[in-house]
Amino acid sequence: MAEDDDLVCFVDDEPPVPSVESGSQPCWRVLIVDDDPDVHETTKFALHGVTVHNRPLQMLDAYSAAEGLAVLGREPDIAVVLLDVVMETEDAGLRAVESIRNELKLTNVRIILRTGQPGYAPEMEAVSRYDINDYKTKSELTRIKLFTALTGAIRAYDQLQRMEAARAGLEKMVESINRFLAPDGLGAFAEGVILQMAGTLGIDPGGLICVARDPANGDEPEYRIIAAAGRHVRLIHQPMSAITDAAIHQSLACCFRARRTLVDDHSLTLFCPGQDGHDFAAYAECVSAVRAVDRRLIEVFCSNIGLFGESVRRMERLQAVAYGDPLTGLPNANYFLEQVDAERGGARQVLALLSVDNLAGAAEVLGPSHGDLILKAVARRLHDELAGRVLVARLGGNSFAVFGHELIVRPDYLRSLFKPRLLIGGIELPLSLSLGLVRRDDMPQASAADMLRFAEVALKRAKCSEPEQWAYYTSHADGDQRSGGIGLTDLQQALADDRFMLVFQPQIRLATGAVVGVEALLRLRLSDERLARPQEFMAVAEHSGLLVDLGRWVLLTALQSLRTLQAEHFGNLRMTVNVAPVEFRQTDFLDAVDDALRVAGVTPFQLELDVGEPVGSVGLDFAVRRIQALRARDVGVALDEFGAGSGALCHLDRLRPGRLKVARSVVSLGESSPLGAILLSAGKELGMSVLAEGVEDEHLARLVGRLGYDEAQGFHYARPMPLHELLVWLKA
């Protein structure tokens, strides 16, 4: 400041400065920016002990324009800046005003320019351009005039803050209209309500809390917190009983009982009536009593808010129908696909498709209601463990989907979530999951629907051939020609080039450890020498009509391989061949079996046909007649993957196959699975042999033997192998 600047002078005979609505409340923050320390001291002395609108003043200091800007940049809620014009330069104050408005974007803070040199007064154009709220020479700033100027500036600041808070509340409420299709529509609306109330009445929103009434329980309705601010924000989504402040809890409870807005000297509790008992109330702490004019405004506000809140609730119900799964409460496929598409471009994201194994079998044994209970329990486990970190949805049936970062959406972690058993109807039930996963980075341009289809391909592979019961999608796994997989032309050429082959997996009698049979499994040798499994080409084969011819080739080749085994002195083995539903229902299927036996020169009792889904594909009566016709020929029949939904326990007595092959998903649960014990008991009672599939280790091998299974097959004993390797293995 220039040396001839006059200091502010306060004469003793001035009337005392009034203390407006005194009280101990949050401060108005005032920043003094002046390069003269004496100006700071005299200003603080003049304003010592005064309050404005029930709040005292807090004075902050800066001794240059640059320092003042730094303080404004880091300190929130500064109401007024008392700014010297001449400091580092003759126009330092004016340049500081420009920075405050344009760089710091502080439009509400009030700026009072002060100068000790009238010659440096800003021109009218500068006052308008720089948004200067007041200008005083230091010689005219007597104590009372300083207080008057400051009070006017604080009132203007308070009004602007209220308007901004009200606007923010209105924006929240309008935004909630656009967010009706989002899960937090009512929450967003309630947040807008409390911000609007705070802005309208000049209340600090930090002490606001909004509670909604749920009339579903009749005489004893429940109340939940749907929006909150400040120290109450942790209470969102909790019951009203979680409010530990007795005064707040009592005010809200009284408000609901009285069904009207309650006002006292220190709080305001708005009551907003809704239709059918869907009321809500909002509590706010008040600095002072609410004026009569504001009370009338509150009544109008509440009546309109109640009507609008009911509209939000209706839209939430529509949203729940369109985007929610009614059984589990999780988002449905529509919502999941939209959100995955919206997040396209994110790095290291993975989509996982989860299938609950042996759900159909459990429902058959325990009843359909248990199936729904299992699905609800799975949904609850996924929501409790993953919600807020990744996207979770139920796609329908026994399928769920998860999408998010690969550190969370990974097989070992997702499967670990279900190691603790589910409690279903008072019974602890173990659960097995199969997963198909797709990495977003592998296909950045793929749509959500494409990614889900690829995950289904991976899931089929995991269920059919992966002992870990999970698999990632690769381009080789897709049977769609568009994605470079195995198509119709490839299959036709493979048949012509004789590139199909069989591999054989031994079956073991547990009582003696002897090899009693082998199962023939189809493989396709690709141009890169990789062996493709059936799930990679079976759909194309079935839809193209090639599957029936391919199945008959498998049957004949398997029986001819059995003849080779007999020639090598392994004539006591049976040959098990899988039969697809489309083959089983062919009118000439029995003739095809007879022809294959005759051409191969094999006796019928050495052949066993694995039949999957016989009832679902052809009907019970047809399945019974066909199985009876096969057994009349001395051909063995096994029900494949039993317990995984492919066989109906209630039809076993009529179907009467010779063998049950219990699905790997049931066997792997061991003694913890009541379904496994029931299937084993049912098969034994009906005189059937029971084989455990998917026995992968020594522990499981001992377990199935102890449980009473007759036979087993799996990687623990041997992996599927070509015929020449099988002969070596048998001889060893």
8 A C-beta contact, residue 193 and residue 209: no
Residue 658 has pLDDT above 60, yes or no: yes
Give residues with Cβ within 8 angstroms of 679, minimum separation 6.
Answer: 361, 365, 642, 643, 649, 660, 662, 666, 690
Neighbours of 512 (CB within 10 A): 8
Residue 156 has pLDDT above 60, yes or no: yes
The whole-number pLDDT of residue 595 equals: 94
Picking from 298-302, 430-434, 495-499, 601-605, which range would have the lowest pLDDT averaged per residue? 298-302
119 class by beta-carbon count within 10 Å (0-12 exposed, 13-18 middle, 19+ buried): exposed
Task: Name the amino acid, one letter, at 472.
Answer: Y
The whole-number pLDDT of residue 200 equals: 59
The whole-number pLDDT of residue 437 equals: 92
74 class by beta-carbon count within 10 Å (0-12 exposed, 13-18 middle, 19+ buried): exposed
Q: Could you tell me the pTM of the whole model? A: 0.42
Neighbours of 170 (CB within 10 A): 15
The whole-number pLDDT of residue 262 equals: 85
Question: In the structure, what pLDDT confidence band is assigned to residue 164 with cuts at 50, 70 and 90?
Answer: confident
Residue with tokens 């439009």: 107
The whole-number pLDDT of residue 427 equals: 67
Residue 248 has pLDDT above 80, yes or no: yes
The whole-number pLDDT of residue 24 equals: 43
Compute the distance between CA of residue 596 and CA of residue 599 in angstroms, rounded to an integer: 5
- CA-wise closest residue to 255 among 293, 216, 306: 306
CA 447 to chain centre: 18
**Domain spans in the chain, listed from the N-terminal domain onward:** 28-161, 179-323, 333-473, 488-731
- CA-wise closest residue to 710 among 506, 574, 520, 508: 508
Task: Give, in degrees to the nearest 5, the angle at Cα 75 between 69 and 76.
Answer: 115
The whole-number pLDDT of residue 404 equals: 92
3-state secondary structure (DSSP) of residue 639: strand
The whole-number pLDDT of residue 431 equals: 74
Question: In the structure, what pLDDT confidence band is assigned to residue 617 with cuts at 50, 70 and 90?
Answer: low
Compute the distance between CA of residue 78 and CA of residue 76 in angstroms, rounded to an integer: 6
pLDDT, one tens digit per residue, over 693-732 is: 989 889 889 988 988 899 999 999 999 999 999 999 999 8
CA pseudo-torsion sign 81, 86, 87, 91:
positive
Name the E strands within 2-132: 28-33, 51-52, 55-62, 78-84, 110-115
Give residues with Cβ within 8 angstroms of 391, minimum separation 6.
Answer: 331, 336, 339, 340, 401, 402, 403, 404
The whole-number pLDDT of residue 3 equals: 40
8 A C-beta contact, residue 339 and residue 397: no
pLDDT, one tens digit per residue, over 92-109 is: 888 898 899 888 889 889
Beta bridge partners of 58: 29
8 A C-beta contact, residue 35 and residue 4: no
Question: 282 phi and psi, to 5 degrees?
Answer: -125, 130
Q: How many Cα atoms occupy the beta-carbon half-sphere of 453 within 13 Å?
A: 12
**CA dist list (Å): 119 to 87, 122, 580, 619:** 14, 9, 100, 104
Compute the distance between CA of residue 272 and CA of residue 264 in angstroms, rounded to an integer: 18
The whole-number pLDDT of residue 620 equals: 79
Beta bridge partners of 57: 28
Q: In CATH, which superfamily holds the domain spanning 333-473?
A: Reverse transcriptase/Diguanylate cyclase domain (3.30.70.270)
User: What is the 3-state composition of the chain as percent helix, strand, coil, each rounded to the nearest 5?
Assistant: 50, 20, 30
8 A C-beta contact, residue 520 and residue 501: no
CA 156 to chain centre: 46
Can you give the C-alpha Rg of the chain in angstroms?
39
Quote the DSSP letter at residue 144. H
Report which of residues 272 and 731 the model is more confident about. 731
Q: What mean pLDDT do residues 619-640 have?
A: 89
Question: 595 phi and psi, to 5 degrees?
Answer: -65, -45
Residue 80 has pLDDT above 90, yes or no: yes
Buried b (16+ CB within 10 A) or exposed e, 674-702: ebbbbbbebbeeeebbbbbbbbbeeebbe
Residue with tokens 């220039």: 2
The whole-number pLDDT of residue 11 equals: 41
Report which of residues 663 and 382 the model is more confident about. 382
Query: Which residue pairs, CB below 8 angstroms and at least 24 apart, start in 461-466?
Result: 461/436, 461/533, 461/535, 461/536, 462/434, 462/435, 462/436, 463/355, 463/357, 463/434, 464/533, 464/534, 464/535, 465/533, 465/535
The phi-psi region of residue 545 (left if phi > 0; otherwise alpha if psi is between -120 and 50; otherwise beta) is left
Element (H, E) at 323: helix 292-323
Compute the distance between CA of residue 362 and CA of residue 364 in angstroms, rounded to an integer: 5
Residue 483 has pLDDT above 50, yes or no: no
Compute the distance between CA of residue 354 and CA of residue 335 in angstroms, rounded to an integer: 17
3-state secondary structure (DSSP) of residue 294: helix
The whole-number pLDDT of residue 481 equals: 35
Task: Give, in degrees to the nearest 5, the angle at Cα 696 between 695 and 699.
Answer: 85
Average pLDDT for the chain: 78
Question: In the structure, what pLDDT confidence band is assigned to residue 191 with cuts at 50, 70 and 90?
Answer: low
Residue-by-residue DSSP string for 359-397: HHHHHHHH-HHHHHHHHHHHHHHHHHHHBTTBEEEEEET
The whole-number pLDDT of residue 392 equals: 94
Report which of residues 625 and 495 the model is more confident about. 625
Query: Which CATH topology does 488-731 take?
Result: TIM Barrel (3.20.20)
pLDDT, one tens digit per residue, over 20-48 is: 443 345 789 999 999 999 889 988 988 88
Question: In the structure, what pLDDT confidence band is assigned to residue 477 with cuts at 50, 70 and 90?
Answer: very low
Q: What mean pLDDT do residues 501-512 have?
A: 94
Give residues with Cβ within 8 angstroms of 305, minimum separation 6.
Answer: 193, 270, 272
Joined together, the tokens standing for residue 652 give 């076993």
Q: What mean pLDDT do residues 445-464 have?
A: 82
Q: Where are the alpha helices (DSSP H) in 48-123?
A: 65-74, 92-102
Task: Give, in degrees to the nearest 5, the angle at Cα 99 between 97 and 103.
Answer: 140
The whole-number pLDDT of residue 597 equals: 95
Residue 418 has pLDDT above 80, yes or no: yes
8 A C-beta contact, residue 675 and residue 429: no
CATH number assigned to the domain covering 179-323: 3.30.450.40
The whole-number pLDDT of residue 211 equals: 76
Q: What mean pLDDT do residues 396-422 have?
A: 88
Joined together, the tokens standing for residue 683 give 């098969």
Q: Where are the alpha helices (DSSP H) in 466-579?
A: 488-496, 538-544, 546-567
| CATH architecture under which domain 28-161 falls | 3-Layer(aba) Sandwich (3.40)
N- to C-terminal Cα distance for the chain?
104
Report which of residues 573 and 17 the model is more confident about. 573
CA pseudo-torsion sign 248, 250, 254, 257:
positive
Element (H, E) at 157: helix 143-178
Question: In the structure, what pLDDT confidence band is assigned to residue 273 with cuts at 50, 70 and 90?
Answer: confident
Give residues with Cβ within 8 angstroms of 385, minimum separation 6.
Answer: 417
The whole-number pLDDT of residue 514 equals: 94
614 class by beta-carbon count within 10 Å (0-12 exposed, 13-18 middle, 19+ buried): buried
Neighbours of 603 (CB within 10 A): 12
pLDDT, one tens digit per residue, over 66-79 is: 999 999 999 988 99
**CA dist list (Å): 474 to 154, 441, 477, 712:** 66, 12, 5, 31
Give residues with Cβ within 8 angstroms of 622, minimum separation 6.
Answer: 585
Tell me if domain 28-161 and domain 488-731 are identical in fold.
no
Query: Which residue pairs, CB below 8 angstroms and at least 24 apart, start in 548-553?
Result: 548/582, 548/583, 548/586, 549/495, 550/491, 550/495, 550/500, 550/522, 551/579, 551/580, 551/583, 552/583, 552/592, 552/596, 553/495, 553/500
